[in-house]
Structure 1
Amino acid sequence: MHMQSLAAAQKPSKIGSIEFLPVNLFASVMGISGLSLAWREAGKLFGTSAVIADICGILAIIIFVALSIGYLVKWVMHPQKVKNEFTHPIFGNFFGTITVSILLLSSVMGIYSQTAGQWIWMFGTVLTFVLSFVFVARLLKGNLNPEHVVPALLIPVVGTLDISVAGGNMPFAWAHEVNLLSLAIGGFVAIVYFTLIISRLVHHAPLPAGLVPSMMILIAPFEVGFLGYTNFEQRMDSFSSVLFYFGLFLFLVLFFKVFKKTVPFGASWWGVSFPMGALSNAALKYAMFTDSWPLTALAVIILALLSIVLLVLFVRTIGILLNGELLRG
């Protein structure tokens, strides 16, 4: 009887173990936050109800809290696992999804409490700058394997652009220079990283199937750059239009490379969500500026596509969580 009890206690949970909680799941918070902000933007353009935006915003907050608790437990119980993940040349980049999630949630929270939004933005800004410093310093150590030059490299450093996306309207006197700093770091590093990644994709072996969805991250510097630049400048010009249109072109190219039945489903699929969220927000903002029906129709199509993709990702992620695939070693 004692042996049976011991065996039952040692038997792994059907759902899996917290030690296998992947950090890239925080990308889901980025995607759902982006969807919330996109529906909020759609309300300005079409006068739609804020209910969908509110539901998505609350869901993003709940998921962030749940994932944060889960990852803290993983850190306490399996510190070596977290260290290995952070120092991994590919998966370590996904720690940037945590800091960018905080920045996007500052915009979501700011709708309900301006003070809370400001404090969350400041916290996220500090973490984002620290992480960008760490990852640029790591990259400059040299001897980087070309196979490790993947689109995920863009997340922790180019994520600094999200500081100005979320903080373009911050009332603090010092916020102007902080936003300029974020645009400087994110913008120029994006040029270097984008060139490195395209070179790797052209001259070396194709990405492993599990990393194929992350190719969509390549549009992020342009669409997030568009949002950050226009929020900071409080206007649109030809430069912002160029950013938007190139990101849109790249999305069309990558769409048919990423959304294929041959790519297996996993947590990495959430890598498509936040670039598409940025594109949707940018398209809605640009449609309001141009007041052109083709661009308005395009914004509607992209928002609908984003909503469908995120709903499918959410349902399928719950499915692989419950059947034990998500948290299985």
Structure 2
Amino acid sequence: MRAEAGAAYRPGGRRRSLKHMTALLAAQVPAPAAGRRDAFAYLGPNWFTTVMGTGIVANAAVSLPAHWPGLRAVATLVWALAAVLLVAVTAAWAVHLRRHRATALGHAADPVMAQFWGAPPMAAMTVGGGALLVGRDWLGLPAAVAADLVLWTAGTVGGLVVAVAIPYLMMTRHETGPGAAFGGWLMPLVPPMVSAANAALLVPHLRSGQLRLDLVLAGYAMFGISLVATLVILPQLWARLVHHRTGPARLVPTLWIVLGPLGQSITAAHLLGTAAAGVLPEPYGPGAQVFALLYGLPALGFALLWLALAAALAVHAARSAPGGVPFTLAWWSFVFPVGTLVTGTAGLAARTGSAALTTLAVALWLLLLVTWATAAARTFSGARRGDLLRPPSP
């Protein structure tokens, strides 16, 4: 077996340029061994983005202030598909870890692939939240609460570890050059925001008293972890785009990741505001309701600005780059972040009764369907041909 982790990280080696770093977005860290092809050899944590993107379609559908006959049934089917994907990807990654441990550990040592360790915790919590929102129709409420509690706990613990561990590795071990910031740097920082939103969903199902209070307080603390860290990264990303342009076309889809913490923060503020009613003492309960609106609307404004910029840059890359934007698993960056924008906008529409926000939420959900269908079809095709199961090109 070749030196797997060493391919991803060489202490004292040259700093990686932005162009060099993007090579790993095409596939996983180079691994193992010559001989027959092993479908599990190159699986990385970025495969969990397929679960996140599928699950958010269902969760966003039932959050819409507009309702159509059969929508909930379809959302439940999509949630079930996300749950099956979670089990399948987790099982596949367990095989990968057993057969190719050095490669699996090498993912954390690579400055690009390491960022996607934020995906597994979010995948678990997306499916867990969906169990409460739609899965309860099939599972029953007690089983849905139990499933969500297990997945939320696992996702929260994993997400908090990732939110500390990956920035620590970036500060102490990863070698990155000037202008290396990309949207993936936000991936390890979003899980605490997902935890905050899903904590609010669990609050009504817990025994009243200290447990509910502690969960609401923990939700706001995790909201702060993710939001402040995001505000640290965004200026670096903006500066990189201005001074170094978008870089290789493979990197362009990751610009949409910025919508993830923005949309999820709007969603979390809305859900925590609802959960805080009757839990936080006066005057903080009503204050949480006010904060949900006064934070959510400005954040939505900036998110729409970024959506327009990211879409324009994607079109520019598709037209100017030879061959357009090549398909990689990074295309799932078009999906989950848009889904969080749907749930956030839907929450604001429900709070205000605004017909304009309701229309916007539906329009964003239709965009979500298009991005999900495109990414899902291309992923299925690539996996069937084996393109997504091969090592990166030299």
Q: TM-score, normalised by structure 1?
A: 0.90
Instruction: Extract structure 1 runs of 4+ deviating beyond 4 A.
Output: none
5+ residue gaps, structure 2: 1-33, 137-143, 275-288
Query: Once the 2 structures are TM-superposed, how far is the Cα of residue 103 of structure 1 from its aligned partner?
Result: 1.5
- 2:240 matched to which residue of 1? 200
Give the RMSD, CA atoms, in angstroms.
1.9
Letter in 2 for 1:22: G
- 1:119 matched to which residue of 2? 150
Listed one character per residue, the Cα deviations across residues 90-125 of structure 1 (whole Å, up to 9, x for unaligned) are 111001000111121110122421122122211211
- 1:327 matched to which residue of 2? 389
- 2:370 matched to which residue of 1? 308
SS in 2 for 1:184: helix
Counting only pairs closer than 5 Å after superposition, residues 1-329 of structure 1 correspond to structure 2 as: 12=36, 17-42=39-64, 44-49=65-70, 50-111=72-133, 112=136, 113-141=144-172, 144-169=176-201, 170=203, 171=206, 172-173=211-212, 174-234=214-274, 235=289, 236-259=292-315, 260=318, 262-329=324-391
Tell me if structure 2 keeps the 8 A contact 1:216–1:258: no
**Taking structure 1 as reference, are residues 292 and 177 closer, same or farther at Cα in structure 2, changes over 3 Å only?**
closer
> 1: distance between equivalents of 2:309 and 2:237?
16
> 1: distance between equivalents of 2:123 and 2:157?
13
Query: Once the 2 structures are TM-superposed, how far is the Cα of residue 163 of structure 1 from its aligned partner?
Result: 0.8
Letter in 2 for 1:252: A
Q: TM-score, normalised by structure 2?
A: 0.76
SS in 2 for 1:149: coil
SS in 1 for 2:369: helix
Tell me if structure 2 keeps the 8 A contact 1:158–1:189: no
Tell me if structure 2 keeps the 8 A contact 1:94–1:152: yes
Tell me if structure 1 keeps the 8 A contact 2:108–2:166: no
- The alignment of Structure 1 onto Structure 2 pairs a total of residues equal to 317
Tell me if structure 1 keeps the 8 A contact 2:259–2:306: yes
> 2: distance between equivalents of 1:265 and 1:146?
26
**Identity rate of aligned residues, in percent?**
21
SS in 1 for 2:345: helix
> 1: distance between equivalents of 2:248 and 2:91?
30
> 2: distance between equivalents of 1:205 and 1:292?
37
SS in 2 for 1:263: coil
Query: Once the 2 structures are TM-superposed, how far is the Cα of residue 221 of structure 1 from its aligned partner?
Result: 2.0
> 2: distance between equivalents of 1:274 and 1:158?
11
Q: Which moved more, 1:152-161 or 1:131-140?
A: 131-140
Tell me if structure 2 keeps the 8 A contact 1:154–1:190: yes
> 1: distance between equivalents of 2:365 and 2:244?
34
SS in 2 for 1:237: helix
SS in 2 for 1:18: coil
Letter in 1 for 2:297: S
